[in-house]
């Protein structure tokens, strides 16, 4: 792990027993519970952002143009879905494309895992073990977007590697459903663009976003000409051995992705 990539002055991740660390965790953990989403600015250093962006563009030829409309929550949706609000059109690099990278080192770095565990109220978090889905770059070029969806995992960790000057806004309706209550009525208000629960964020390069995405409806708006947006998504789990199914892996990341475990019961579900 190259320690020059993380802003250790503001985020002392290697000193979990220090008062500064404890205060930081307490403040942000509280905000995460309150709002469902926190955004830690300047988590990466400028050098970190530049290194990660170069790694992404070096691998750009390997990116899979992922276009799909699958979102499990909406399979049972009772009403008529408005057009063009569900789906996804991005370029993806999966964990198999990101081996031996500084981004992978950050993903595995124990102090970061400890920090994410503390922020999410877990004793420990584990690496998602899917060979493709564990660590993902989502590259948004002009015309790319991700429609409204919920994540499968309880929480999602994203490092933002760009600041789009046109489009590419992150919009989120936090805590809009529970495991028991799909709350279709309020979700419909969001889909029809008339909900006052939706918050809009312009993420800064180098920031770290932590979101309770399983219950927060969210999307990324379409990118305009001349802009780009890059998200590094780090998948951590509260139990070891979690992966996605072969069918989902091929749908999202392309037919040529490596095979991985496909064991019922350990597969992330929605």
Residues near Fe ion, by CB under 5 A = 151, 213
Of 55 and 151, CB closest to Fe ion: 151
CB-CB contact of 32 with 157 (8 Å): no
Residue whose pair of structure tokens reads 């947006």 in the numeric block: 229
Alpha-carbon gap, residue 249 to 85, rounded angstroms: 22
Of 36 and 213, CB closest to Fe ion: 213
**Token reading at 17:** 């027993």
The distance of closest approach from Cβ of residue 97 to Fe ion in the complex, given in angstroms and rounded to an integer, is 19
**How many residues can be counted in the chain?**
270
The distance of closest approach from Cβ of residue 142 to Fe ion in the complex, given in angstroms and rounded to an integer, is 21
Burial 120-146 (b: 16+ CB within 10 A, else e): bebeebbbbbbbbbbbbbbbbbeebbb
The distance of closest approach from Cβ of residue 87 to Fe ion in the complex, given in angstroms and rounded to an integer, is 13
The distance of closest approach from Cβ of residue 252 to Fe ion in the complex, given in angstroms and rounded to an integer, is 12
Of 96 and 218, CB closest to Fe ion: 218
Of 24 and 212, CB closest to Fe ion: 212
The distance of closest approach from Cβ of residue 89 to Fe ion in the complex, given in angstroms and rounded to an integer, is 14
**Token reading at 223:** 């990118």
The distance of closest approach from Cβ of residue 149 to Fe ion in the complex, given in angstroms and rounded to an integer, is 6
The distance of closest approach from Cβ of residue 218 to Fe ion in the complex, given in angstroms and rounded to an integer, is 6
Of 174 and 213, CB closest to Fe ion: 213
Of 129 and 151, CB closest to Fe ion: 151
The dihedrals phi and psi of 37, each to the nearest 5 degrees, come to -155, 130
CA distances from 60 to 56, 64, 140, 223 (A): 6, 9, 12, 18
Q: Which residue is nearest to Fe ion (CB)?
A: 151
Of 193 and 270, CB closest to Fe ion: 270
């Amino acid at each position: 792990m190259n320690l020059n990539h993380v802003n250790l002055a503001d985020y002392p991740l290697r000193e979990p027993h220090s008062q500064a660390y404890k205060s930081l965790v307490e403040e942000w953990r509280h905000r995460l519970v309150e709002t469902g989403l926190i955004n830690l600015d300047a988590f990466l250093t400028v050098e970190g952002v530049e290194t990660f962006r170069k790694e992404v563009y070096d691998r750009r030829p390997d990116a899979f143009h992922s276009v799909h409309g699958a979102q499990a929550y909406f399979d049972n949706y009772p009403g008529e879905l408005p057009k063009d609000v569900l789906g996804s059109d991005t370029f993806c690099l999966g964990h198999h494309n990101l081996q031996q990278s500084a981004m992978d080192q950050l993903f595995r770095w124990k102090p970061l895992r400890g920090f994410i565990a503390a922020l999410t109220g877990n004793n420990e978090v584990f690496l998602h073990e899917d060979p493709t889905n564990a660590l993902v770059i989502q590259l948004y070029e002009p015309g790319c977007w991700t429609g409204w969806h919920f994540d499968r995992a309880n929480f999602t960790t994203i490092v933002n590697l760009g600041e789009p000057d046109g489009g590419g806004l992150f919009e989120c309706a936090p805590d809009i459903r529970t495991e028991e209550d799909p709350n279709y009525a309020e979700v419909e208000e969001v889909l029809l663009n008339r909900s006052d629960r939706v918050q809009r964020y312009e993420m800064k390069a180098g920031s770290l976003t932590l979101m309770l995405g399983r219950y927060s409806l969210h999307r990324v708006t379409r990118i305009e000409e001349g802009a780009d947006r890059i998200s590094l998504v780090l998948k951590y789990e509260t139990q070891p051995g979690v992966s996605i199914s072969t069918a989902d892996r091929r749908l999202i990341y392309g037919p040529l992705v490596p095979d991985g475990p496909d064991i019922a019961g350990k597969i992330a579900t929605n």
